[in-house]
Amino acid sequence: MKWESLLNENTLAGLIPDVYAQYRRPLWLALTLFLKGLPASRLKDMAVGQAALPAASTALDRLVRLARGCPVLHKLGQTLARDPNLSPELRKGLQRLESFSPAIPLEVVKKVLEHELGPMDRFGVELLSGGLAEASVAVVAPFRFTRGGAHRHGVFKVLKPGIEERMEVELALLERVGAYLDQRCEDLGVAQLNYRDSFQQVRHKLLNEVRLDSEQRNLSMARRFYRGDSRVVIPRLFDFCTPRVTAMERISGRKVAESGGALEKKAMARLVIETLIARPVFSPEERAPFHADPHAGNLLRVDDGRLAVLDWSLVGQLGENERVAMMQTILGGMGFSPQTMIDALSSLSTAQPSNPAALKRAVNYACERVRTGQLPGFTWLKSLLDEVVRSAGLRFGADLMLFRRAVQMVEGLAMDLGGEPELIDRVFFSEFGLNLSAEWPRRFWTPPGSRAFATRLSNTDLAGLMISFPWRAYGSMKD
């Protein structure tokens, strides 16, 4: 199929805003290379899907339909759907990928369930007509059953037939695209970021999308992690699950993006940030899990105002080292200490900086932004991480890459809910202050260098900040 006849470079470029103008041609070439590498049978099915669209369909309509047929492109579209740098039209189109009515017939779902579970009547399960939604790799279908004399409602999450093979093919193609971009960075005018290596790092994480037994473990872990938080709901597993089928309780609610009035939306935006970003960062646990795919289709507002967090197939973990280094970077920004930031960022990186001078320039510029009024919070940190990767050659592990992505998705969703652009930073400093206050009594008998606190800052760190901050701030004003 000649994809150029449906989605040529010019029509695709019309969807990409000027802020990303330098990526228009590379994205088009990467998409073309990806599509041409798909098996002929896949291309034929996708061509049929494109032909079924109305003749008046826009380039965006065709791009969304294309993404629906490729789980990797589907996931990419969900990631970008709340990016405030994209046009409202493009964001609205990509938001169609967050959830939609299933295209897979219920009979196909029944066959998969019977193959995996055997006759469902042995569990007393009655599959209800119609599916709730279709995601990038699975279909969700409702059911009910009776246990202990009580009627209960649940949903089956069922992998699409053949999805494992599709993911393997597409992830291999993604690595090929990465190698192509690495070879042509200079003539395409894009940063040299070692794209293939980055794609390889997240490959095993993305493969967990099609391992529902892994998601089931993640669900149990998430329920433990959020236990005691009455504002958050994590689905409970039922005991008839397999590696290709997850049976869990059904949680009714509306997508958070469809919450009611302005005040309700802003309250929900804050709760999303506190739950999905601040909670892992300030967790006392040695390794804190975080939801690595927090698009609006995975987040519901329950009728009583609680936040339900669904789909735990893609999960990352923040360890002690990552959180200490992040807080040291922010501490360096607060105290106008570039060397503290350089040391912290270098400890986060899996590779030595290829351009130490560029690393120094990046942290100096980040300090300058703090001097001129920007809070050194999540937004500031995300921007700094992007810059040191782009210009200085630092490389971060898969979990940190996924966390950066989660921050971006949550930030965009919060803004769509009516939150101010700086809301994510306000929440960060609010949670930081609350945790610091709670730690204070214990700090009196803790060794000065210990960072065994939710804030990951030692008494020595705090003393150094209090001593240095006024003088460095005064010096910067004189300069």
Count: domains in the chain: 3
pLDDT, tens digit (0-9, with 9 covering 90-100), for 369-414? 998 889 899 999 999 999 999 899 899 998 999 999 999 999 999 9
What is the helix (H) or strand (E) element at residue 20, kind and residue range? none
157 and 13 assigned to the same domain? no
DSSP 3-state of 101? coil
Is the model's pTM score more than 0.85? yes
CA-wise closest residue to 280 among 269, 288, 272? 288
Structural domain contains residue 314? no
- Residue 161 near residue 100 (C-beta atoms within 8 A): no
Structural domain contains residue 266? no
Radius of gyration of the chain (CA): 24
Find how far residue 403's CA is from the centre of its chain: 7
DSSP 3-state of 300? strand
User: Which residue's structure tokens are 């400890």?
Assistant: 347
**pLDDT recorded at residue 447:** 95
**pLDDT recorded at residue 475:** 45
pLDDT above 60: residue 241? yes
pLDDT, tens digit (0-9, with 9 covering 90-100), for 421-478? 789 999 999 999 999 999 999 999 999 999 999 999 999 999 988 876 654 544 443 4
pLDDT above 70: residue 122? yes
8-state DSSP, 189: T
463 and 330 assigned to the same domain? yes
Of the listed ranges 99-113, 168-182, 227-241, 455-469, the one predicted with least confidence: 99-113
The whole domain housing 340 covers 320-478
Distance CA(155)–CA(246), nearest Å, equals 8
55 and 124 assigned to the same domain? no
Structural domain contains residue 277? no
Distance CA(438)–CA(436), nearest Å, equals 5
- Highest-scoring range by mean pLDDT, 100-109, 147-156, 183-192, 350-359: 350-359
398 and 424 assigned to the same domain? yes
CA-wise closest residue to 315 among 396, 211, 387? 211
- Domain boundary pick from 145, 172, 207: 207
User: pLDDT band at residue 29, thresholds of 50, 70 and 90?
Assistant: confident
123 and 88 assigned to the same domain? no
User: pLDDT band at residue 151, thresholds of 50, 70 and 90?
Assistant: confident
pLDDT, averaged across the chain:
88
Distance CA(50)–CA(47), nearest Å, equals 5
342 and 447 assigned to the same domain? yes
State the alpha helices, DSSP H only, in 37-127.
40-51, 59-68, 71-80, 88-94, 106-117
Average pLDDT over residues 228-239: 94
Q: What is the CATH number of the domain that holds 145?
A: 3.30.200.20
Do the bridges between strand 307-309 and strand 232-233 make them parallel or antiparallel, or are there none, so unpaired?
Answer: parallel
pLDDT above 90: residue 189? no
**pLDDT recorded at residue 479:** 41
**pLDDT recorded at residue 130:** 66
Distance CA(189)–CA(187), nearest Å, equals 5
Instruction: Give the tokens for residue 282.
Output: 């300030």
| Alpha carbon separation from 476 to 375, 436, 469 (Å, rounded) | 16, 27, 10
**pLDDT recorded at residue 192:** 72
Instruction: Give the tokens for residue 236.
Output: 């409970």
